[in-house]
Structures are given as C-alpha cells and as structure tokens.
Amino acid sequence: MSESQGLRFMLKAIRRDKGGLVGLVIVIAFLLWSLIQGTLEVLAGYLKRPSLGYMLLPHNPFALNFQYSLLPPSPQFPFGTNANGEDILSRILYAMPRDAFVAIVVVLSAIAIGAVLGIISGYFGGIVDEAIMRITDAFLSLPALILVIAITLPLKATYLGAILGLMVVWWPTYARFFRAQTLKVKNMDFISAAMLGNVSHVKLFYSYIFLNSIDPIIAYATLDFGNVILTYSTLAFLGIGISPPIPELGEMAANGLSGLPQAWWWSVFPGMAILMIVVGFVLLGDRLQDIVAGRITY
C-alpha cells in the first residue's frame, strides 16, 4: 500500500466513525490555532509590538481591569473574568500554543530516543539489551509526574526546564515498543537479504526497522500527545514549568482555586479546556490504533 493510499484509507475509516471524527476536528482545530497564535506571539516578540500577539483574541489577556473583577460568564466575557479582571477565554486561547509545543517536542524526542535505544537493544541483544532495558525499567518504575518533578526542580522549574524534564522521562515506552518491533522483524527474510546485500547498520535500522514500525507508532503517539498535555498541565498546576506572567492552563486552574466557591468559572474553564484537548487526542488516537491493528477493514 503506498503512502497516499494509506493516508486516504485512514481518513476514510475515521470519517465513518463519529468519535474519531470529533477527535480529528478537535485535534486539527487545536493544532491550527496553536500554530497561528504561536506564530503571532513569536512575531510580536520579534517586532517588539505586543499588541500583535492579541490580535485574534477577544480581549487583551494581560489587561488588568479591576472594575471587571470576577465577572461571571456573559456575552462580553464568555468564560468570565479572574480576580484581576482579565478575560479567561483570551487567556486560555493565549496559553494553548505552549501546550501544543510541549506535546510535539516531547513526543517527537521520545520517538527519536526510544527508536535509537530500542532498536539497538533488540538488534544486538545480550549485555547491551540487558543494560538498556534495566535503565528503561528504572524510569518506568516511577509515575512520569513524580520523576519530572524531581528532575525539573534543579532546572529552576521553568518552561524550558519542564520540557527538558519531560523529554528525559518520556522515552521508555517507545524504547520498549521499538525493541519488541525489532525482535519481531529481526529474523525475517527481508532483513537477512538486506544484510547479505551489505546494507549499513544505519540504513538497516532506519529504512528496514524504523519505517516498518511507524504506523503503530503514529497511532500510539497521537494518544500520547494527550498524556503529555495532561502531565504538563499538572506540573503547571503545581507551579512547575511556567513563566509568569504568561498564562498556562494548569496554572490558571490552580489560581482559580482561591476563588472557588464564589467564582467557579475561574478554575473550571481552564480545566475544561485541557479536558477537551486531551479527549480529542484520545478519541483520534484510539481510532488510529484500531485501524493499525487491523480491527477495521473496508
């Protein structure tokens, strides 16, 4: 099956499934918005014209208007305002590109690191395999959140620190996956043929093993984007991985706790935004996994 056929098949299969379609729409909307808003923010910083970053938002996310403090949702402020009178919807939209960036960087680096270690581990076996897999187990024995907290702390708990921390702990599942995949294809004829043809290790690993594993990995990675966003927002909730005054979804939810009984919208809407994004990735990822596993055929 050629690449375009594969893609068309996937799209066709997703179109027939309501859940998958909803997931696809949410994911595309989230990524597209993050791309546009993120580009504007970068441009605004580069040109030193902050207003450029707020161009598409209903309000300036940093405008302190104490006369608008803690207003409930209304047509003017659809998600209400926080104690500083800042528009919560604008802040949520302003925060999104950072979550998208974290998810993409962390998942891609996890695939890269996991592929290198997993393929080496599966292909060479023996002591190399044993060593890599024990380290992988050590990382897997702790919940990612706890490990990231421990690792991020010395990095002054900044945005970049959180990304680095997540990168350090996120690869083990991928290493396991690529190792299993390598063991599966290692003794197949096309690998032996390639070895007889004197193909270099790098080419063998990349074209023969990595590219052959990519379909199930894409499905799993789609699901995993949601996990990264969940973990990152939880870190932000605890005050790690944020760069004040720039808003972050988890940090907004944490701040809102102080006004919870009187102003529920302050904490609930940021939480709901994360929930929506993650549901999108999970719905789409689940569907992709069904397709890859051959549970769906048309």
Partner 1 sequence: MSINIIFFIIRRVANALITLLLLIVLVFVIIHLIAPSPLALARLYTGPHATTSELETVAKEYGLDQPLYVQIVNYILNVLHGNLGLDPFYKVPVTTLIGKYLPRTLELVIPATILSVVIGLVTGAIAASNRNKPTDYFVRGVYLVTWASPPFFVATVLQLVVAYYLGLLPPTGTVNPLLPVPKDITPFPILNAMFTGDWSYFWSLVHHMVLPTISIALVSFGIVTRIARASMLDYMDSDFARLSLMKGLSRRKVVYGVVLRNASIPIVTLVALLFGYSVAGAVVIEDVYDYHGMGYFITQAIENLDYTSVLGTTIVVGISIIIANLVADILYGILDPRVRVVE
What residues make contact with partner 1 under the rule CB under 8 A? Answer: 134-135, 137-139, 141-147, 149-151, 153-155, 157, 168, 226, 230, 233-234, 237-240, 250, 253-254, 256-257, 260-261, 264, 267-268, 271-272, 274-275, 278-279, 282-283
User: At closest approach, how far in Å is the CB of 235 from partner 1?
Assistant: 9
User: At closest approach, how far in Å is the CB of 115 from partner 1?
Assistant: 21
Distances (CA, A) of 159 to 130, 235, 238: 34, 10, 13
User: At closest approach, how far in Å is the CB of 27 from partner 1?
Assistant: 13
Q: Which is nearer to partner 1, 106 or 191 (CB)?
A: 106
d(C-alpha 68, C-alpha 136), whole Å: 51
d(C-alpha 129, C-alpha 126), whole Å: 5
d(C-alpha 96, C-alpha 273), whole Å: 9
Q: Which is nearer to partner 1, 40 or 282 (CB)?
A: 282
Sequence-distant (≥ 6) Cβ neighbours of residue 132 within 8 angstroms = 117, 118, 120, 121, 175
CB 222 within 8 A of CB 284: yes
User: Which DSSP string do the residues of 37-69 spell out, in sequence order?
Assistant: HHHHHHHHHHHT-GGGGGTTSSS-TT---GGGT
User: At closest approach, how far in Å is the CB of 31 from partner 1?
Assistant: 17
Q: Which is nearer to partner 1, 40 or 252 (CB)?
A: 252
User: At closest approach, how far in Å is the CB of 166 from partner 1?
Assistant: 13
User: At closest approach, how far in Å is the CB of 48 from partner 1?
Assistant: 32
User: At closest approach, how far in Å is the CB of 132 from partner 1?
Assistant: 11
CB 120 within 8 A of CB 113: no
- Residue whose C-alpha is closest to residue 218's, from 279, 118, 274, 293: 293
Record the tokens describing residue 188, joined without a space: 């197949």
Record the tokens describing residue 102, joined without a space: 């974290």
Sequence-distant (≥ 6) Cβ neighbours of residue 131 within 8 angstroms = none
Cα pseudo-dihedral 126, 120, 105, 159, rounded to 10: 40
What are the phi and psi torsion angles at 81 (to 5°)?
-125, 160
263 class by beta-carbon count within 10 Å (0-12 exposed, 13-18 middle, 19+ buried): buried
User: At closest approach, how far in Å is the CB of 94 from partner 1?
Assistant: 19
Q: Which is nearer to partner 1, 53 or 82 (CB)?
A: 82
Q: Which is nearer to partner 1, 151 or 214 (CB)?
A: 151
Q: Which is nearer to partner 1, 57 or 116 (CB)?
A: 116
Q: Which is nearer to partner 1, 70 or 157 (CB)?
A: 157
Q: Which is nearer to partner 1, 10 or 278 (CB)?
A: 278
